A and B are shown apart, each in its own frame.
Chain A
Amino acid sequence: MSVLEAPRAKVPPKPRNPRTVVVGWIIAAVVVAVHVIAWRATDISFAALAEGWAGMADFLAEAIPPDLSPDLLLESAEASLVTLWIGLLGTTLSVPLSLILALLAARTISPAGWVYQVTRAILSFLRAVPDVVFALIFVTAVGLGPFPGVLALVAHNVGVMGKLWAETLEEADPGPATALRSAGAGRIQVAAHALLPSVLPQLVGLLLYRFDVNVRSSLVLGLVGAGGIGFLINQSIQLFQFDQMLTHILVVLVLIIAVDRLSAVVRRRLTPEAA
């Protein structure tokens, strides 16, 4: 049997509102203008890039081959583990505070409007300050090493995870909460028995995602003196030992890929679980 072809029909011209057209042009002009300003302000120069290319080549020539001596590899692996532990503690130690703030910052359960506003402001502040800045502050306060790195990650991560968790809680099915509230349960009981259990897989998924991000951040924190492999990378650059630097980078690459895979696998096992 042949496929039946529908008879052709003329497509009427799309009605165009002149206002939408004008607005479209204005938006395009603004986008272009903003890019011109940004281009100038950031000193973008292809000439500099072309000249610098030679320097980059020298740099690579010195870095390759990487220094694969066992002593260095051991040192690198140990420091990578420290980076991992900073990322781990920076994530898990921020759980209690994130949870409390998330519950207060979820519109659906927050006890009062002003509590919601204040918690949201605290979370925004913690999020707005980059973890590197927190690290510089804590390094000044408690000295060089992994500890200020952990503190910095906790401070910033509470801001991010608190907000993500609050939004997940707000999207939770309100049904069970309504049922328990009508049964006379208190606010904390409703959170503990209706909201949190409904969204637990999502909360854990976000926790793993943050762990992944925090391990990578803790590498950067090391560059400003907060311990771990970042510290070694910074050191080797300052001593012009680029072959050692490349070793550290390769080792940390293995670590980061491993953490990424692990967190992806666990998250995939969490999500198909339909509630």
Chain B
Amino acid sequence: MLRLADIVVHYGDREILHGVDVAVGRGELLAVLGANGSGKSTLLKAAAGLTPAARGSVTVDEKPRGIRDTALVFQKIHLVGRRSALDNVCAGALARLPLHKSLTPALFPRDVREEAMGCLERVGLANRAHDRAGSLSGGQQQRVAIARALCQRAPVVLADEPVSALDPAAAEQVLALLAQLAHAEGLAVLAVLHQPDLARRHADRIVGLRDGVVVLEGDPNQPVDVLYENREPEVATP
């Protein structure tokens, strides 16, 4: 479904990704592992079209990636705390709504609200629909953010360290949710993870990045020490 082929990304003169190939299938949760600065976020941004690739291609179902193909889930949760969970989820539908039907939450058409409610049900938060997003726990907020991504109707979900800000129990729950959405609903989920053991428990497959190169791929249970050992001390970049 999602295919990144031979991706090269530069920041200024520095080449960050040196020809990376990654594919995520329908119904699959792929975890991207790697040390700090190995290029995981850059890869995700390239997949989302937020960072231009100097070389290579990003395709979804064999066609060049379109703006509606990918939905993002962030480490910092990025909800509007003062709005209800439901209104936050509805915002995922903005791209398909004309301005006169989307200027305020009160104008959202009924079918959008019902679809957003359905998305909240899928993340298990239907009972919190009218609560302010800011009043929910970190794990619940991240699930609302996932519901918003679902409301975008994108077949590919890209998540950059979606559980790094959460406590262990909430992290398990959110990753289990992402895996279930992939398996039960046929989404392609690419998640950058910091902890290999979370990937072991929830991912179908892993990709390991080291200094902008894929150095391992496949079974989540394989040893991943090579990603983290013998690292040069981190160089501060201006």
Contact = CB atoms under 8 A, between A and B. Distances in A.
A190 to B, nearest CB: 8
Contacts of B148: 179, 183
B94 A175 contact: no
A271 interface: no
Main secondary structure of the interface of A (DSSP, over half): helix
B94 to A, nearest CB: 4
A271 to B, nearest CB: 13
Given A178-B78, A179-B74, A192-B104, A184 B83 contact: no
Q: Which interface class (under 10, 10 to 19, 20 to 34, 35 or more) fits B? A: 20 to 34
A240 B179 CA distance: 85
B74 to A, nearest CB: 6
B67 A184 contact: yes
Interface in A191-228: 192-194, 197-198, 200-201
Contacts of A175: 74, 76-78
Interface stretch (B95-103, B181-189, B200-208, B228-236): B95-103
Residues of B contacting A: mostly: loop
A176 B94 contact: no
Given A179-B72, A184-B152, A197 B92 contact: no
A185 interface: yes
Interface residues of A, number: 22
Contacts of A185: 91, 94-95
Contact of B82 (A183, A184, A275): A275
B97 to A, nearest CB: 8
B71 A183 contact: yes
Nearest to A182: B72
Contacts of A130: none
A189 B72 contact: no
Nearest to B67: A184
Q: Which interface residue of B48, B91, B97, B103 has the most chain A CB atoms within 10 A?
A: B91
Given A197-B83, A275-B134, A183 B92 contact: yes
A200 B3 CA distance: 42
B8 to A, nearest CB: 22
B117 interface: no
B63 interface: no
Contacts of A200: 82
A183 B67 CA distance: 8
Contacts of B83: 193, 197
A194 B80 contact: yes
Interface of B: 48, 50, 67-68, 71-72, 74, 76-83, 87, 91-92, 94-95, 97, 99, 102-105, 134, 145, 148-149, 152
Given A176-B78, A189-B103, 7 more contacts: A175-B74, A176-B79, A186-B99, A192-B104, A197-B83, A200-B82, A275-B82
Interface of A: 175-176, 178-180, 182-186, 188-189, 192-194, 197-198, 200-201, 273-275
